[in-house]
Structure 1
Amino acid sequence: MFTAVPSDRLEYFLKEKNITNYVHAMEYEPKQVIDQPVKSTLNSKAGTYLCINLVNGKKYVGSASQGGMYNRYCGHLLGGHGGSQNVKAAVKKYGIENFAFLVLETNENGKIRDEILATEQKYIDLLMPEYNIALFAGSVLNSKWSQDSRDRLVKSETYLKRMENLRLARKNTPVSEETRELLRANALERGPVSDETKLKMSINNNKSVAIQAYLADSDTLYREFLSIAEAAEHFFNDRDKRGPIKYALAKNTKILNKYYLRKS
């Protein structure tokens, strides 16, 4: 439902993040009882929205052009087409009644993509949403960032803080023996490395090389890493397992059959 006064839980998280001037808020409204005026109101807006888990405060920030806001709501929270897989999994675990959907800010020029993306990026930097895979705005609008924009973000304080938090979280996450065996089996399947490949890998023998990982099926930015060692820790839970990362960079092959790696 659209709420003029947020619930106590939602109000707590909004105050914590100093969000005071949002446009609309919806808390638990099953798809079958959303009436046409609500759909029309959502779809009349172009701008940035927030999905928030009221149990743990984790967030997802996205944007929609005019006519697409209702589809974003359905995709993320009601199991509709598209939407963040992280949010969908969380809704399945915690229940839709523990989520809120907010329209944070609207853009008057609803069809001008650059303005919408700039607003979305502002809130990504402000809220550092945990459910977002990448720190770049615009994936839902099929836009691509320039290399200059990516370089600026990689050097920003927000990005460095986020990467450090992710590194610490991964470091403190235990890895099961089953997962270790699976990773070991995957490594063995790749077979021995040729002398030619070893030579190419040695050229890239630099722990501080910044890397970008892209989804192979869509060429969408998945994640950024500050070093080869950090990428190895993410994909293999072992910072010393840098060989497969260097090989993928040198040969432009997929890693884990899902990602392409490129130097930033």
Structure 2
Amino acid sequence: MSKKVRCYSTSSVNNHPSSKIVSEFLTDKNIKPVFIFEDLRYVNTKDKIKDQTKGLSGVYLILNKITNDFYVGSASTDKLFTRFYRHLINLTGSKIVKLAVNKYGIDNFVFIVLETFTEKTTVENNKNLIDVEDFYLKSLLPNYNILTEAGSSFGYKHTELDRIKMKANYSEERRMLIGNLNKNKQFSSTTIERMIQSALNRNKVEFNKEALDNMRKASGAERPIILYNIENNTVFGEYSSITDAALSLNCNKKTIYRALKTEKKVLLKRWIVNYK
């Protein structure tokens, strides 16, 4: 994919710098975004998002300023505004984000564009965009992406132990990796994969054979699957198992199983799903 466009912007309604809460969040995560949009209820802001992301594909982050929970996603060419509108205005995107917006109000959310690309997204180069999104997902561990079914998990509060574990996962090494990704560089798929593996390099818990067998039984089929965007047949994502896909998509495993058994294999009216 072509060189990333880094048009740094402080995109609140009156073009003022981003709020202190947002600045502290970005500093803590070592993120230098391309665009920051606050005051999302105003037409002026929506127009800015539409205008400034026109012709671009990229990776975005939706931040809850009250809880510091956030969601990371990617959008193909000319779809960044669509993703913003679906998640935060129409509330037809992530169920978790929808419930959070209904609870906290649109004024407490920020739409942040992390990376942008100028080259038109195609079946051939879409994997590069997905790789960058995957890097952010695995490095930042966004709460709104990893929670399970929206109906049962909204209102879920992490225990202090959970918070310690999540903070430990976001190590100094990961902060540096994110910082490096934000520099004005172009990375190959191979380089990104090495960065991902390095970010995930931490001590692993050892399980005995019986425990592993039980986990395999509980998780169901272990065959990897791949999702394609229904609108243009580009790759949306690849998952090592149905369980991993269900967690990432905030849907039930049974929903994916049912889609795989149908002739058209349409999942949630957005993707075509198939075994790899």
Q: TM-score, normalised by structure 1?
A: 0.53
The letter of the residue matching 1:106 is T
Kindly provide the CA deviation profile for residues 219-240 of structure 1, in whole angstroms up to 9, marking residues without a partner as x.
Answer: 9966339xxxxx9xx9xxxxxx
Question: Aligned runs of 1:66-105 on 2, under 5 Å?
Answer: 66-81=77-92, 83-105=93-115
Distance in 2 between residues matched to 1:119 and 1:62, nearest whole Å: 10
Match of residue 63, structure 2, among 52, 62, 71 = 52
**Which amino acid is 2:106 matched to?**
I
- Secondary structure of the residue aligned to 1:62 is strand
Find the counterpart in structure 1 of residue 19 from structure 2: 7
Do structure 1's residue 17 and structure 2's residue 37 form an aligned pair?
no
Question: Secondary structure of 1:48's match?
Answer: strand
Q: What is the aligned partner in structure 2 of residue 260 from structure 1?
A: 257
Q: What does residue 169 of structure 2 align with? A: none
Equivalent of residue 51 in structure 2, options 14, 32, 40: 40
3-state SS of paired residue (2:145): coil
User: Secondary structure at the residue paired with 2:214?
Assistant: coil
CA distance in 1 between partners of 2:88 and 2:47 (Å): 18
2 CA distance for matches of 1:68 and 1:52? 19
Counterparts of 2:24 and 2:255 in 1: how far apart (Å)? 39
For structure 2, which runs of at least 5 residues remain unmatched after alignment? 1-9, 148-192, 206-211, 229-236, 261-275
C-alpha displacement of 1:97: 0.9
Judged with a 3 Å threshold, the aligned counterparts in structure 2 of structure 1 residues 28 and 257 are, in CA distance, closer, same or farther, namely: same
The aligned counterpart of 2:145 is 132
Give the SS at the match of 2:143: coil
1:128 and 1:57 map into 2 onto residues whose CA distance is 12
Q: CA 1:224 to 1:115, structure 2 compared with 1: closer, same or farther past 3 Å?
A: closer
Q: RMSD of the TM alignment (CA)?
A: 4.3
| Percent of pairs with identical residues | 28
Distance in 1 between residues matched to 2:46 and 2:215, nearest whole Å: 54
> What is the match of residue 178 of structure 2?
none
* TM-score w.r.t. length of structure 2: 0.51
1:80 Cα deviation after fit: 4.9
Higher gyration radius (CA): 1
Alignment-mate amino acid for residue 257 of structure 2: Y
From 196, 206, 212, the equivalent of 2:213 is: 206
Instruction: Describe the superposition over 1:4-52 as per-residue Cα deviations: whole angstroms up to 9, x where unpaired.
Output: 6210111111111111x21000012226444645412123321100001
Residues 111-122 of structure 1: matches in 2 within 5 Å? 111=121, 112-122=125-135
Name the amino acid aligned to 2:243: R
Residue in structure 1 matched with residue 155 of structure 2 by the alignment: none
